[in-house]
Amino acid sequence: MRKPIVVGNWKMHKTVEESVELVEELKPLVAEIGDVEIGVCPPFTSLSEVSRVLRGSNINLGAQDMYWEPQGAYTGEISAGMLLSVGCRYVIVGHSERRTYFGETDEWVNRKVRAALEAGLVPIMCVGETLEQRQKGITQEVVDRQVTEGLRGLSPEQVAGMVIAYEPVWAIGTGLTAEPEQAQEVQAFIRARIRQLFGEEAADSVRIQYGGSIKPENAREIFLQPDVDGGLVGGASLEADSFARIVRAAM
Ligand code: PGA
């Protein structure tokens, strides 16, 4: 059975001080939870301090993005090795905000996913359709392309060990959550595609999260869907109590 994974994506929120405060508060609230994998992805500036606070806890650290080159003249960028050096386990790749505001393409997402895996990080690769694409009836086509291109060149073992986050763009930060059945439908489709592309074992092992306006009130219903293996949580992860309640909903 797949272990559910709930990860907080803090986006561009929290100073170092605020970050430390949040994880200090979160740690005891989830301390005894063993059957859900838990992670937080603070902004780059907070990673090392948060890492220090999380040492020895059951909360893992992740980053929100990275660049695929190991080092070099790439002003403003951060490599996988740098993320590992501050104790990161995960890196979010291809979030819709990166695709929309920063022009990330499927090819870039693929390079980042490959570099992350080669370095030993677990990529959380985000896919999802816009409202316009859903209304046009091309959700599966869009998600299929993102999955196929994003995972190009990977081995079945690499796919098995990573995380995919299905985040319908129209549900992110809008308060509109996908109906549990809508999430299930797309996530079952993603798993079926992975089965075709990478085989049975990769499809059975890869964890597929749902993301988009998850709250303590709607989390359980979504997490109960058979192809939903936890969630990627934005807004509701900025507060310890609501994030802890969402983690609990995945138990
Ligand atoms: P949200 O964001 O929970 O605030 O909708 C989710 C995400 O973008 O990962």
Q: Is 95 a catalytic residue?
A: yes
Taking the centre of ligand 1 as the mean of its atom positions, its distance from the CA of residue 73, in whole angstroms, is 32
Any ligand 1 atom below 6 A from CB of 235 = yes
* pLDDT average, residue stretch 203-232: 98
pLDDT tens digits for range 76-101: 999 999 999 999 999 999 999 999 99
pLDDT tens digits for range 147-181: 999 999 999 999 999 999 999 999 999 988 899 99
Q: How confident is the model at residue 34 (pLDDT cuts 50, 70, 90)?
A: very high
Any ligand 1 atom below 6 A from CB of 150 = no
Do residues 79 and 70 lie in contact, with contact meaning Cβ atoms separated by under 8 Å? Answer: yes
Active-site option among 95, 97, 104, 129: 95
Taking the centre of ligand 1 as the mean of its atom positions, its distance from the CA of residue 199, in whole angstroms, is 30
Taking the centre of ligand 1 as the mean of its atom positions, its distance from the CA of residue 5, in whole angstroms, is 15
Q: What is the pLDDT of residue 176?
A: 87
pLDDT tens digits for range 43-56: 999 999 999 999 99
* Nearest Cα residue to 89 out of 169, 175, 5, 177: 5
Q: Is 167 a catalytic residue?
A: yes
The whole-chain average pLDDT of the chain stands at 98
Q: How confident is the model at residue 7 (pLDDT cuts 50, 70, 90)?
A: very high
Q: What is the pLDDT of residue 1?
A: 83
Name all domains of the chain by residue range, CATH numbers in brackets.
5-249 (3.20.20.70)
pLDDT tens digits for range 223-239: 999 999 999 999 999 99
